[in-house]
Amino acid sequence: MKVPVIGADGNRAGEVDLDDRVFDIDVSDGAVYEALRNELANQRAGTAATKRRGQVRGGGRKPYRQKGTGRARAGSWRSPLRVGGGTVFGPQPRDYRYRIPRKVKRLAIRSVLTAKRRGDQLMVVDGVQSPSGRTRDLAATLRVLSAGLKTVLVLAADDPMTMRAGRNLPLLRILSSQRLRIHELLYGDRVLLQREAVDRLNAGYGGDQGGGDGR
């Protein structure tokens, strides 16, 4: 399908062809859910930890004698029943990362791109970059194109200067077309695709029909 290309000044600057196999499929909510869950799990540090009874300090001697006190038997100050004692079944450091099928991840990306286009949240742009690396230059362009909305800018490839310029903009996320992330794409109320990024997405995802028809 043909869609207009919008320049940095907000005016039409031509048109580009979006591959229907990428931007007009049957959206798979299941694939999007699995891919999002996988991304969030892979980002977890997995460093939460509690001390078990063998790791807390103290407990060398018996708190009081076994018989004659009228109290319940106690063998250690480190018992989970006592203040300062160990924790029962508490979290321990672990790796939360796991893998999902490649075709599921790709189907999820195509589903999100399709949903954004159908919701009028996707725009193909030209000249949206900051060769100087100055935040001011990029912010001025985004005021014209996104008007204060949460924005995701998809670059054709890594652009260190543009990425540096966007670091101080709290409502902006910058991605490379080679490393799209479901969580970031869903974040944006407005997704801006560089014209060159469209060609890469058409080529990279247009030939992959894994996952059936997307249902």
Q: Give, in order, the Cα–Cα distances in Å from 215 to each of 27, 32, 90.
A: 7, 11, 40
Looking at the fold, whether 109 and 168 belong to one and the same domain comes out as: yes
Closest CA to 19 of 5, 4, 7, 2: 2
pLDDT tens, N- to C-terminus, the chain (215 residues): 888 888 888 888 888 889 999 999 999 999 999 999 999 999 999 999 999 988 888 877 888 899 999 999 988 889 998 888 899 999 999 999 999 999 999 999 999 999 999 999 999 998 888 888 888 888 888 888 888 889 999 998 888 888 888 888 888 999 998 889 999 999 889 999 988 899 899 988 886 554 433 33
Residue 214, in any domain of the structure: no
Residue finishing a domain among 33, 60, 95? 95
Distance CA 201, CA 19 (A): 9
Distance CA 134, CA 165 (A): 5
Distance CA 183, CA 150 (A): 13
Looking at the fold, whether 105 and 177 belong to one and the same domain comes out as: yes
Looking at the fold, whether 21 and 109 belong to one and the same domain comes out as: yes
Task: Write down the pLDDT at residue 215.
Answer: 35
Looking at the fold, whether 105 and 146 belong to one and the same domain comes out as: yes
Closest CA to 18 of 205, 188, 185: 205
Looking at the fold, whether 127 and 181 belong to one and the same domain comes out as: yes
Looking at the fold, whether 8 and 113 belong to one and the same domain comes out as: yes
Looking at the fold, whether 181 and 140 belong to one and the same domain comes out as: yes
Angle 167-172-176 from CA coordinates, rounded to 5°: 80
CB atoms within 10 A of CB 125: 23
Residue 215, in any domain of the structure: no
Given a contact cutoff of 8 angstroms between Cβ atoms, the answer to whether 195 and 8 are in contact is no
Residue finishing a domain among 95, 117, 137? 95
Looking at the fold, whether 143 and 193 belong to one and the same domain comes out as: yes
Residue-by-residue DSSP string for 30-50: HHHHHHHHHHHHHT-------
For residue 90, give its domain range: 45-95
Looking at the fold, whether 33 and 10 belong to one and the same domain comes out as: yes
Q: Which CATH number does the domain housing residue 146 bear?
A: 3.40.1370.10
Looking at the fold, whether 19 and 111 belong to one and the same domain comes out as: yes
Tokens of residue 28, six digits: 């798979």
How many CA atoms lie less than 13 Å away from 47 in the CB half-sphere?
Answer: 2
